[in-house]
């Protein structure tokens, strides 16, 4: 009896974060006839999206935002809006993207393991109570499998009679640091829907938004619950690759083998492929750990204990890698960090982002502080206060942090009188590999940065000079010629 779902004219995105902001900006840019409003109850965040000092850094993001938000080019009218008026944007929208945070629960049952859905619940309650017309609701947030059932239940109980909702799952696969590139040229768009005529119509309406710039062959419509699980599965497999390579890196160090050579050799196998085989001090970011723990928790709640244990071991190896890296630093520095000064280069969890959520640097910096060192941190993009907050929050002895941490405005300031330099983020500017390498990634030029002058660093440091390369961004030979002792991940000295 209901009319069929028509073309989408107005989109509301709830959650103006790392996913909601960039995704909405790209959707708006590519669909000039669709009005996209991003809402959040965080007033500071919304205010900042309305300026040129955006709340998050992503290469290319500002241009895309300006294009749609300000209508600055091609005489187009603005069609991207940022607002704290959640209710109005919901009421007007045909399609609502849920891009709120779904962190690991910190309280109650499943604390430290399960996903916290309270933000999602609250957003959906608001939709239920505000909507006076039919809506398509899209889970963009990463959710536990079957979350759509919970959301449908809340909608059924809170909404006005006659108003209908179609729930879709459309997980986001962008990676921070390359969000715009990933959104503009996605490997695939997954749309999960219920296998009902209206569910499939809703999936088609969302697919039409994407076909404005994505090849339809890359848009895959699947079952709603498969789609929810596919996102957790993708992150679990990516993290599992990193942990597998890191586990091998420990063996390489003990055997005198080289993990970069092993990874290259292995990656040439077409069944394996070369991506995500880089050894490092460990993965960070807000997603991998929480999504694996969520997957393991779901397995456990299904009484699949062996499966839960398998996925948790991926997180276990990651913790082990961070601690192993710290132990190596202590061992090389003659078994004591007391009264030593260490320079930490890089604090973000990866390059080209200022995001520090769950960065390995929090653990490593706190570990070396606990060993007695004083630490000077430099990161090209992360704000000083952010470093302080993260290290304090991750410390068991915050008074030591006050005494021994400082955050510097340049790499040279951090390296002055240092016994060792520790690289924790793979920023191009720290690398001494060819300049072309840096240019290809674009970062140095874009931000007018220069590569670190390691000769100048050598002049500033105490002797002997150690470098611990937690991201394998250095070519050790030229540095060793300058007198540095370079320790890379997964590279042992042959016995
Ligand atoms: P975020 O914390 O940066 O942003 C979430 C925003 O939602 C916050 O600004 C918060 O204020 C807002 N919010 C929460 N509840 C709200 C409500 N009821 N009404 C209005 N605003 C509300 O989080 P994020 O990194 O963008 O991640 C969002 C989701 O996307 C998560 O589920 C995450 O797992 C998933 N995801 C993240 C990434 C990533 O790289 N960050 C990639 C893919 C998927």
- 38 and 161: one domain? yes
pLDDT score, position 446: 46
- Could you say which DSSP state residue 128 is in? H
Within a domain: residue 177? yes
Within a domain: residue 298? yes
Pocket of ligand 1, candidates 49, 93, 127, 286: which has the most ligand atoms within 8 Å of its Cβ, to mutate? Answer: 286
Please identify, among 194, 214, 234, the residue that sits at the C-terminal boundary of a domain.
214
- Mean pLDDT along residues 441-469: 80
Pocket of ligand 1, candidates 12, 13, 16, 19: which has the most ligand atoms within 8 Å of its Cβ, to mutate? Answer: 19
Q: Residue 433 — pLDDT band, cuts 50, 70, 90?
A: confident
CA of 249 to the centre of ligand 1 (A): 33
Pocket of ligand 1, candidates 37, 101, 121, 158: which has the most ligand atoms within 8 Å of its Cβ, to mutate? Answer: 101
By alpha-carbon position, which residue is closest to atom 14 of ligand 1?
A: 100
- 445 and 310: one domain? yes
- 277 and 159: one domain? no
- 29 and 170: one domain? yes
Within a domain: residue 174? yes
Could you tell me the CA-to-CA distances from 379 to 22, 278, 345, 400 in Å, in that order? Answer: 23, 21, 6, 21
Domain coverage including residue 396: 255-488
Give which of 15, 26, 16, 10 is closest to 67, Cα–Cα: 26
* 415: annotated active-site residue: no
Q: Which ligand 1 atom sits nearest the alpha carbon of residue 176?
A: 40
Q: Residue 221 — pLDDT band, cuts 50, 70, 90?
A: very high
Please identify, among 162, 197, 214, the residue that sits at the C-terminal boundary of a domain.
214
- 166 and 283: one domain? no
Strand order in the sheet with 10-14: 80-83, 35-39, 10-14, 95-98, 135-139, 165-169, 189-193, 219-223
Q: Which ligand 1 atom sits nearest the alpha carbon of residue 143?
A: 32
149 CB-near residues (< 8 Å, 6+ apart): none
Within a domain: residue 493? no
- 412 and 362: one domain? yes
By alpha-carbon position, which residue is closest to atom 32 of ligand 1?
A: 141
Could you tell me the CA-to-CA distances from 118 to 73, 84, 100, 196, 424 in Å, in that order? Answer: 40, 19, 10, 28, 33
Helix ranges (H only) for 108-255 are 118-130, 147-158, 179-184, 197-210, 224-255
Indicate the burial class of 234 (C-beta count within 10 angstroms; 0-12, 13-18, 19 or more): middle
Q: How many domains does the chain have?
A: 2
Within a domain: residue 27? yes
Cα–Cα distance between 406 and 377 in angstroms, integer?
6
pLDDT score, position 263: 98
Name the catalytic one among 13, 145, 287, 408: 287
60 CB-near residues (< 8 Å, 6+ apart): 180, 181
- 462 and 353: one domain? yes
Is 51 annotated as belonging to a binding site?
no
- 344 and 484: one domain? yes
By alpha-carbon position, which residue is closest to atom 11 of ligand 1?
A: 42
Phi-psi group of 114: left, alpha or beta (phi > 0 → left; psi -120 to 50 → alpha; rest → beta): beta
pLDDT score, position 471: 98
Q: Residue 438 — pLDDT band, cuts 50, 70, 90?
A: very low
Could you tell me the CA-to-CA distances from 219 to 210, 214, 230, 332, 373 in Å, in that order? Answer: 8, 8, 14, 51, 52
Cα–Cα distance between 232 and 285 in angstroms, integer?
15
Q: Which ligand 1 atom sits nearest the alpha carbon of residue 286?
A: 41
- 58-92 pLDDT, tens digit per residue, is 999 999 999 999 987 667 899 999 999 999 999 99
CA of 333 to the centre of ligand 1 (A): 41
Cα–Cα distance between 444 and 452 in angstroms, integer?
11
- Could you say which DSSP state residue 430 is in? G
Query: What whole-number percentage of the chain has pLDDT above 70?
Result: 95
pTM of the predicted structure, to 2 decimals: 0.94
Q: Residue 493 — pLDDT band, cuts 50, 70, 90?
A: low
pLDDT score, position 75: 73
- 260 and 210: one domain? no
- 292-349 pLDDT, tens digit per residue, is 999 999 999 999 999 999 999 999 999 999 999 999 999 999 999 999 999 999 999 9
- 174 and 293: one domain? no
pLDDT score, position 434: 62
Within a domain: residue 348? yes
Residue 5 has pLDDT above 60, yes or no: yes
- 322 and 374: one domain? yes
Structure tokens at 114: 């399960």
State the CATH number of the domain containing residue 208: 3.40.50.720
For the ranges 137-146, 298-307, 439-448, 471-480, which has the lowest average pLDDT?
439-448
- 448 and 384: one domain? yes
Within a domain: residue 367? yes
Angle at 312 between CA 308 and CA 313, to 5 degrees: 120
ipTM of the complex: 0.99
Within a domain: residue 100? yes
414 CB-near residues (< 8 Å, 6+ apart): 343, 344, 345, 376, 377, 378, 408
- Mean pLDDT along residues 179-185: 98
Residues flanking ligand 1, CB < 6 Å: 14-20, 39-42, 45, 86, 99-102, 119, 122-123, 141-142, 172, 174, 176, 286-287
């Amino acid at each position: 009896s209901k009319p069929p779902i028509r073309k989408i004219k107005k989109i509301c995105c709830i959650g103006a974060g790392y996913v909601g902001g960039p995704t909405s900006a790209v959707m708006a840019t590519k669909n000039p006839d669709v009005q996209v409003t991003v809402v959040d109850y965080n007033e500071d965040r919304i205010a900042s999206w309305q300026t040129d000092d955006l709340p998050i850094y992503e290469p290319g993001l500002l241009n895309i935002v300006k294009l749609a938000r300000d209508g600055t080019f091609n005489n187009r009218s603005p069609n991207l809006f940022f607002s704290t008026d959640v209710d109005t944007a919901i009421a007007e929208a045909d399609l609502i993207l849920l891009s709120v945070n779904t962190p690991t629960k910190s309280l109650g049952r499943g604390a430290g393991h399960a996903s916290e859905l309270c933000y999602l619940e609250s957003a959906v309650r608001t939709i239920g109570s505000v909507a006076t017309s039919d809506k398509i609701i899209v889970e963009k947030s990463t959710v536990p499998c079957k979350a759509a059932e919970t959301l449908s239940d809340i909608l059924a109980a809170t909404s006005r009679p006659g108003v209908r909702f179609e729930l879709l799952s459309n997980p986001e696969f962008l990676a921070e640091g390359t969000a715009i590139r990933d959104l503009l040229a996605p490997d695939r768009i997954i749309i999960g829907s219920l296998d009902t005529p209206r569910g499939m119509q809703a999936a088609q309406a969302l697919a039409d938004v994407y076909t404005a710039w994505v090849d339809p062959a890359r848009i895959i419509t699947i079952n709603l619950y498969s789609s929810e699980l596919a996102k957790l599965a993708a992150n679990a497999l990516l993290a599992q690759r990193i942990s597998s390579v890191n586990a091998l890196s420990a063996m390489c160090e003990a055997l005198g083998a080289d993990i970069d050579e092993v990874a290259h050799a292995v990656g040439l196998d077409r069944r394996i492929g070369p991506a995500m085989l880089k050894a490092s001090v460990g993965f960070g970011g807000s997603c991998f750990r929480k999504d694996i723990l969520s997957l393991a928790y779901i397995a456990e709640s299904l009484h699949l204990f062996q499966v839960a244990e398998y996925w948790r071991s991926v997180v276990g190896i990651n913790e082990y890698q961070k601690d192993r890296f710290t132990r190596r630093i202590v061992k090389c520095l003659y078994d004591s960090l007391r009264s030593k000064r260490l320079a930490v280069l890089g604090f973000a969890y990866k390059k080209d982002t200022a995001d520090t959520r769950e960065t390995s640097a929090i653990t490593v910096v706190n570990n070396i502080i606990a060993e007695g060192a004083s630490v000077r941190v430099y990161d090209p993009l992360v704000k000083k206060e952010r470093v302080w907050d993260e290290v304090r929050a991750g410390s068991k002895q915050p008074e030591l942090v006050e005494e021994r941490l400082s955050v510097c405005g340049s790499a040279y300031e951090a390296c002055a009188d240092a016994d060792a330099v520790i690289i924790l983020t793979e920023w191009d500017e720290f690398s001494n590999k060819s300049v072309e390498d840096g240019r290809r990634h674009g970062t140095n030029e874009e931000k007018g940065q220069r590569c670190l002058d390691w000769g100048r660093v050598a002049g500033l440091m105490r002797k002997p000079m150690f470098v611990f390369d937690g991201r394998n961004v250095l070519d050790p030979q030229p540095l060793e010629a300058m007198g540095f002792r370079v320790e890379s991940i997964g590279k042992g000295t042959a016995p």
